[in-house]
Amino acid sequence: MHIIVYMDHLMDLVQHYERLGYFQELISVLEQGINLERSHQGMYTQLGVLYAKYKEEKLMEHIKLFWSRLNIPTLLVACQQNLHWNEAVFLYTHYDQFDNALSTIMEHSAECWKHSLFKEIILQVSNTEIYYRALQFYLQEHPLLLNDLLLDLAAKLDHNRVVDIVDRVDHIPLIEKYLLHVQRENLSSVNEALNSLYVKTENYKALRNSIDAFGHFDQIALAQSLENHELMEFRRIAAHLYKLNKRYERSMELSKKDGLWADAMQTAADSNDVPLAEGLLQYFVAQKQEECFSACLYTCYELIRPDVVLELAWRNGLMDFAMPFMIQTFREYHDNLAELRKKFDDKEKEAADAAAAAQKAKEEQGGADPNMGMGMYNPMGQTMLAIAAPGQYMQAGYGAPMGGQMNGYGY
């Protein structure tokens, strides 16, 4: 007990006991020694090493109690040599060696892997490559927990790389929740992975919502892959994609092929193309679709010319179906003409009012007395406080200036 308090002699004592095989006695000496006032780091560390070699059931308890007083690198070597991986992970985490701790867990997962511990440590690693090693580790050993791990790491991952790694092993369905979480960033790889998944699972509603909300992906390629799909709803989505990319004719062809008349009419209306809308109207006439003829007049009202409608209806006996369109058209023509007349009348009235105002202003300017409101100076030395009548000046013998008007001073 007096020897072990000296660091220089402690190792010689330990070697002497071990050489003679007194392992339990040596452990007892050190267990009593760490309670001494002169106990030092070497005593705690060597006791941990002895536990690792000869009494492993007490090793974890010792580390948890005295980890702050241990020489962690020395004890780590002992734990690794004696295959105590749980203890090694604990020491790594308390020595801020999180990368090594996570590598140890992945290399010896059968002994020391715990999902909660793994997630806690991976959030503190410094080498981002470990994220993708962890991804592959979970794919191989714990695929059902992969979503949970990725959701915790979502802010730190390269989503394109994640999708590429998982797609190589064809396990995209495993990370659907993660993809939905990061889809708000509108990345093409994420959108394409989800869209492909929806096609495989025949979830046309989710596919339509994804296309409308997140448009950053190869839309034409997806449309081409869907236009011959066995389910009509997916062929309908292909037509929708063509419409979004302004390939209106191709979209209408797919809609007409499946008898989706409402979609074809809406596509024609969205195209804002007069010949395309009128061509669809003629198609309905040729197919004897009288109700669709009338509905198309309503849907594409702004694009179809009245003379075309009137001629088609007259030639094919569809006057009853065309009459609502014609009534509305005549009403609009009447309203537009009345509005134009009102504007024309208002402008004429404004012009007349302006001319009258100008004439009145001219008359007022020409007939007003310019001496109004000015004081008059009398040559006799008197100031006239009021404007005298023109006759008074003449009687006084003062002539008026040229033009018959008096100036402000009576000259």
Structural domain span for residue 333: 260-351
Assigned domain for 336 exists: yes
Assigned domain for 128 exists: no
pLDDT digits (tens, 9 = 90+) for 82-141: 999 999 999 999 999 999 999 999 999 999 999 999 999 999 999 999 999 999 999 999
pTM: 0.75
| Average pLDDT of the chain, as a whole number | 88
Assigned domain for 271 exists: yes
Assigned domain for 165 exists: no
Of 324, 283, 329, 327, whose CA–CA distance to 303 is shortest? 329
Assigned domain for 266 exists: yes
Task: Indicate whether 199 pLDDT > 70.
Answer: yes
Of the pLDDT bands very low, low, confident and very high (cuts 50, 70, 90), residue 1 is: confident
Of the pLDDT bands very low, low, confident and very high (cuts 50, 70, 90), residue 354 is: confident
Please, are residues 115 and 102 in contact by the beta-carbon 8 Å criterion? no
Assigned domain for 264 exists: yes
- Cα–Cα dist 190/110, whole Å: 33
Assigned domain for 315 exists: yes
Q: How far is CA 344 from CA 147, 292, 339, 340, in A?
A: 70, 41, 9, 6
Q: Which pLDDT value is given to residue 28?
A: 93
Percent of the chain exceeding pLDDT 70 equals 89
Q: What domain count does the chain have? A: 1
Task: Indicate whether 29 pLDDT > 70.
Answer: yes
Assigned domain for 300 exists: yes
- The 3-state secondary structure of 5-30 reads CCHHHHHHHHHHHHHHCCHHHHHHHH
- Cα–Cα dist 220/391, whole Å: 99
pLDDT digits (tens, 9 = 90+) for 142-179: 999 999 999 999 999 999 999 999 999 999 999 999 99
Partners of residue 15 on adjacent β-strands: none
